[in-house]
Amino acid sequence: MTAAVERTPAPASGAGAWSPFRRGTFRALWIATVASNIGTWMHDVGAGWFMTSLSPSPFMVALVQAATTLPMFLFALPSGVLADIVDRRRFLIAAQLWGLAAALTLGILALLGLVGPGILLAATFALGAGAAMNAPAFQAIVPELVPKEELSSAVALNSMGINVSRAIGPALAGAILSFAGPAAVFLLNAVSFLGVLAVLLAWKREPTPNRLPPEHFVPAMRAGLRYVREAPALRTVLVRAVAFFAFGSAAWALLPIVTRNELGEGPGGYGILLACIGVGAVAGALLLPRFRARLSADRLTVLATWAFAAATLALAFVRTYELVAVAMLVAGFSWIAMLSSLNVGAQQATAGWVKARALSVFLVVFFGSMAGGSAVWGQVATLAGTPTALALAAAGLVLGSAAALRFPLGGGAGLDLAPSMHWPTPMVEHDPEPDRGPVMVTVEYRIDPADAAAFAAAMAEMGRSRRRSGALSWGVFEDAAAQGRYLEYFILQSWLDHLRQHERVSRTDQTLQERVRAFHRGAEPPRVSHLLAPAVGAGS
């Protein structure tokens, strides 16, 4: 199991850093998850090192990293949709059983001497698919395990657990590889799933009350993608993620080749280097609150990118093992600084009703960049040499840091995305059938011609707000026969979707609507109408 993406916001005021451990289910799940993540890191080390003995090609070794990350690119979004519309506990149990089966199968085949490059990549892909199933649901259940005031502390502790396992798992895997071989590593990874599975089976999850029926899969996926498209702060995070991870993936993908071929080390040395990355990340998780208090998000991420680029250059040209180990400490520190900053930005830009889906898109971008980058840099290393590939990746990191100028982070920090529930119940003669649609909602404004330009600018922002909350299309028109009379419309798939829209409108949306309505002139408020498409067969 892996929680996939680390998050390290500062603990909420009024809640101690360790207070979530008072919650029995959270404490048990945290301990089990650390053990499971140790198994995951052991597999990553074992698979990467095993491939160096199965195939000397840098491209094949880099494909191990690609096989680990590609499933998240392919399956994170569908998993996020399911995490929002099905019972999350049962979904997580299914993910653990999947991972257990994949790891156990690989371990048995390795014992029998039947693992070749194809089987190793296929099994690694299957394990990655289980992680993709797990990640969105795991992030989404944290608010169910701790009270709201302890949420930030719980997230920080989860990040700490991931990085502790990153420090322990690789070193442990290196030692086991040295005296027992890869089969033992793969079988121990299978055992590591049992603890999380036991905690989830024992968890008596309170059902979440829903006034409205759950969304169907395909419309829910469309709603999530539409939200991401219409959330500028979230799109900024995604652009910055591509600019970093597409180049940063080179160090992860080519580290086994550098360790074996350039440094002349065995699996123990490789595990220690990965452990150094984990130790650096743990230090970063502890020190980041101090850095965030002094640096803006953009300055912090730019410095972290430059530091990771320097570590990548060291990996390319330094041939002293101890110095490379120091560089990996820096890499771990800068990696967690960048990753957590981007994840916090994504969290701040995402409303609760769509959080698993939106964070799944972030995971898709993150792991897609890692998978694609790993394959590309592996091919570059095959054609031009490993040092050249790493040097080009470091240069790309430095150039990519310029994205901070065009796409600054922090746009979501001032958003209040809690539901406002300020829309009144629609005035209708009778309640339409939930699936009746399409539905068109119109709002009529009377605007002073002198305010037309400012009104139009505010309405453009209003359009993004309407689409984020569920509208399929939106527009605003001025009456050619009555200057200053404007008609806004937005269309939804069904009446049920409009009722969901009432529950999705946020406090930030409410503030925007109040700003737009301030332009309205007249004794009565803007007139709102709800129009339904004729029922099929009506009048026949």
Look-up: residue for tokens 């790309």? 396
pLDDT at 101 over 60: yes
What is the per-residue pLDDT for 208? Answer: 61
What is the per-residue pLDDT for 13? Answer: 43
| Average pLDDT of the residues in 157-162 | 75
Distance CA 492, CA 495 (A): 8
pLDDT at 96 over 80: yes
| Average pLDDT of the residues in 358-366 | 86
| Average pLDDT of the residues in 14-25 | 74
What is the per-residue pLDDT for 275? Answer: 81
User: What SS3 class is residue 474?
Assistant: strand
Last residue of a domain, one of 388, 406, 424: 406
Please answer whether residues 259 and 265 qualify as being in contact, where contact means their C-beta atoms are separated by less than 8 angstroms: yes
Say if residue 202 is exposed, middle or buried (CB neighbours under 10 Å; 0-12, 13-18, 19+): exposed
Q: Does residue 396 form part of some domain?
A: yes
From 169-173, 317-321, 473-477, the region with the lowest mean pLDDT: 169-173
pLDDT at 461 over 80: yes
443, 402: one domain: no
User: What SS3 class is residue 150?
Assistant: helix
Q: Does residue 426 form part of some domain?
A: no
Question: To the nearest whole percent, how much of the chain has pLDDT over 90?
Answer: 44
331, 454: one domain: no
What is the per-residue pLDDT for 1? Answer: 52
What is the per-residue pLDDT for 540? Answer: 45
Q: Does residue 393 form part of some domain?
A: yes
226, 99: one domain: yes
What's the domain count of the chain?
Answer: 2
What is the per-residue pLDDT for 2? Answer: 46
What is the per-residue pLDDT for 229? Answer: 92
- CATH number of the domain enclosing 471: 3.30.70.100
Q: Does residue 4 form part of some domain?
A: no
The pLDDT mean for the chain works out to 86
From 11-25, 37-51, 89-103, 477-491, the region with the lowest mean pLDDT: 11-25
pTM of the model: 0.79
From 45-59, 153-167, 329-343, 424-438, the region with the lowest mean pLDDT: 153-167
526, 387: one domain: no
Per-residue pLDDT of 286-301, as tens digits, reads 777 778 778 888 899 9
What is the per-residue pLDDT for 152? Answer: 59
From 58-62, 132-136, 380-384, 418-422, the region with the lowest mean pLDDT: 58-62
Q: Does residue 102 form part of some domain?
A: yes
337, 383: one domain: yes
- CATH number of the domain enclosing 57: 1.20.1250.20
Highest mean pLDDT among 137-146, 147-156, 322-331: 322-331
Look-up: residue for tokens 């031009």? 384
364, 474: one domain: no
What is the per-residue pLDDT for 214? Answer: 79
320, 451: one domain: no
382, 486: one domain: no
Q: Which two tokens stand for residue 54?
A: 């199965």
What is the per-residue pLDDT for 356? Answer: 81
Nearest to 127 by CA among 171, 80, 170, 67: 67
pLDDT at 465 over 90: yes
What secondary structure does DSSP assign to 353-370, as a single string?
Answer: GGHHHHHHHHHHHHHHHH
* Structural domain of 488: 439-532
What is the per-residue pLDDT for 7? Answer: 40
pLDDT at 280 over 80: yes
pLDDT at 322 over 50: yes
Q: Does residue 7 form part of some domain?
A: no
466, 400: one domain: no
236, 308: one domain: yes
Per-residue pLDDT of 175-199, as tens digits, reads 898 888 899 999 999 999 999 999 9
Q: Cα 363–366–371 angle (5° rounding)?
A: 115
CA distances, 508 to each of 227, 422, 442, 504, 516 (Å): 15, 12, 21, 11, 13
Distance CA 337, CA 123 (A): 31
Q: How far is CA 207 from the centre of its chain?
A: 25
What is the per-residue pLDDT for 151? Answer: 65
Which residues are CB-neighbours of 243 under 8 A, at least 6 positions away?
Answer: 400, 401, 403
Q: Does residue 449 form part of some domain?
A: yes
DSSP tag of 262: I
Q: Which residue did the predictor score with more confidence, 164 or 399?
A: 399
Distance CA 422, CA 413 (A): 22
| Average pLDDT of the residues in 148-175 | 74
190, 103: one domain: yes
| Average pLDDT of the residues in 40-51 | 88
pLDDT at 513 over 90: yes
Distance CA 419, CA 468 (A): 13
- Evaluate the omega torsion of the peptide bond into residue 438 and state whether it is cis, within 30 degrees of 0: yes
pLDDT at 11 over 80: no
pLDDT at 132 over 60: yes
91, 229: one domain: yes
Please answer whether residues 249 and 374 qualify as being in contact, where contact means their C-beta atoms are separated by less than 8 angstroms: yes
Q: How far is CA 235 from the centre of its chain?
A: 13
- What confidence tier does 537 reach under pLDDT thresholds 50, 70, 90? low
- What confidence tier does 9 reach under pLDDT thresholds 50, 70, 90? very low
Q: Does residue 11 form part of some domain?
A: no
Last residue of a domain, one of 383, 406, 429: 406
